[in-house]
Amino acid sequence: MEFKTLRNSNLRISPMGLGAWAIGGEWMFIDNQAGWGKVDDAASIRAIQAALDAGINLIDTAANYGTGHSEEIVGKAIQGRRDEVVIATKFGFDVDEAAKKVAYQSPEAILQNLAFECERSLHHLNTDVIDIYQLHMWEFPPERVPELLDGLEKLVTQGKIRTYGWSTDDVALAKLFAAGEHCAVIQHAANVMEPATEMFNFTAASGLTSLVRSPLLMGFLSDKYDKDAQFTTTDVRYREFPAERIAKIVANRAKIREILMSNGRSVVQGALAWLWAVGEQVVPIPGIRTEAQARENAAAMEFGPLTPAQMAEIEQLLGREEAVMA
């Protein structure tokens, strides 16, 4: 599969990226666990380097993830290889590094703290420029978006960032951000179980790249978990996946398993292939924690997208009325 050029830039990114949420370790969002449990930093660094070696050049992290820890691990992993990597990170929350706690910020605070947050991420990542800087707050007052775009454009002019985007599932808000001169991406959730048709249609029409988070449904689009899956209380999935949701996902996974595994793919590789079949602008960013995960994900690029016939059959098997192809 070919590398893609981001709109409004000369940045070239691999057909898939690497999501660095899980490697941030344990942290709290207000009063809830928001990390993926304990991590082995040395293993995380090896996993990132394995992904780079396998042809993945995009790494997506955030100030939230481990309250800076994920950014620091990314910075260590790419030491000496910065020119090989496109770094995407995010801003917009109140991050207390010492307390390992994240909270909401007001729109005013987001605007006021923009330059500070950018400098903090640059420090954590041990780099002098961020390639893709994304608003992490899912909502923002529409009338104040122009102010935020002005602030981001100032960072571009200063050479602190190259492009920017928004991590949001709200298409109306994404359209406002797309007006920015150096807006390049919208990060949003999507996977074969939970398509995002309207957002995919928008990014395809606008020339923006869809950076797809949760492309593997937090691991459930793999063979790792069955209907009896359980998670520790320090794993964000403990709260996000009650038993009834797990049972439904596993049942639907069984319905489409044969298609996902076509041509020798693993279930993971088939789930990624489904996203690529949605549109050329789609770049999944599955999380990794091990070298094996990095290699399996990267190998999916060798298979490419599912066929239109396979896409249509999945829609039928899952009982959806319309195909999700943009």
Tokens of 207: 């020339």
Q: Rounded to an integer, what distance in angstroms lies between the CA atom of residue 303 and that of residue 169?
A: 28
Domain ranges of the chain: 4-317
Is 322 a residue whose pLDDT tops 60? no
For the domain covering 4-317, report its CATH number: 3.20.20.100
Is 309 a residue whose pLDDT tops 50? yes
> In the prediction, which pLDDT does 230 show?
86
> In the prediction, which pLDDT does 233 show?
76
- Mean pLDDT (the chain, rounded): 95
Q: Rounded to an integer, what distance in angstroms lies between the CA atom of residue 91 and that of residue 134?
A: 6
Beta bridge partner(s), residue 88:
60, 132
Taking only the tens place, the pLDDT of each residue in 80-95 is 999 999 999 999 999 9
Is 163 a residue whose pLDDT tops 60? yes
Is 321 a residue whose pLDDT tops 70? no
Q: Name the residue among 276, 111, 155 with its Cα closest to residue 210.
A: 276
Q: Binning pLDDT at 50, 70 and 90, where does residue 55 land?
A: very high
Is 324 a residue whose pLDDT tops 50? no
| Residues above pLDDT 70, as percent of the chain | 98
Average pLDDT over residues 168-191: 97
The runs of H, that is alpha helices, within the chain are 41-53, 69-77, 107-125, 145-157, 171-177, 197-206, 237-240, 243-260, 267-278, 291-303, 308-317
Q: Name the residue among 21, 48, 50 with its Cα closest to residue 37.
A: 21
Q: Rounded to an integer, what distance in angstroms lies between the CA atom of residue 165 and that of residue 282?
A: 14
Average pLDDT over residues 276-302: 97
| Residues above pLDDT 90, as percent of the chain | 89
> In the prediction, which pLDDT does 317 show?
96
- CA angle, 167 as apex, 17 and 156 as ends, to 5°? 85
What sign has the CA pseudo-torsion 8, 294, 64, 276?
A: positive
**Which stretch of 40-44, 192-196, 230-234, 263-267 has the lowest confidence by average pLDDT?**
230-234
> In the prediction, which pLDDT does 325 show?
44
Contacts by 238-241 with C-beta closer than 8 Å and gap 24+? 238/33, 239/32, 239/33
Q: Name the residue among 95, 99, 79 with its Cα closest to residue 87.
A: 79
Q: Give the amino acid at 303.
A: F
Judging by beta carbons within 10 Å of its beta carbon (0-12, 13-18, 19+), is residue 243 exposed, middle or buried?
exposed
Q: Rounded to an integer, what distance in angstroms lies between the CA atom of residue 132 and that of residue 119?
A: 14
Q: Give the amino acid at 126.
A: N
pTM of the prediction?
Answer: 0.95
Taking only the tens place, the pLDDT of each residue in 106-144 is 999 999 999 999 999 999 999 999 999 999 998 899 999
Q: Rounded to an integer, what distance in angstroms lies between the CA atom of residue 315 and that of residue 310?
A: 9
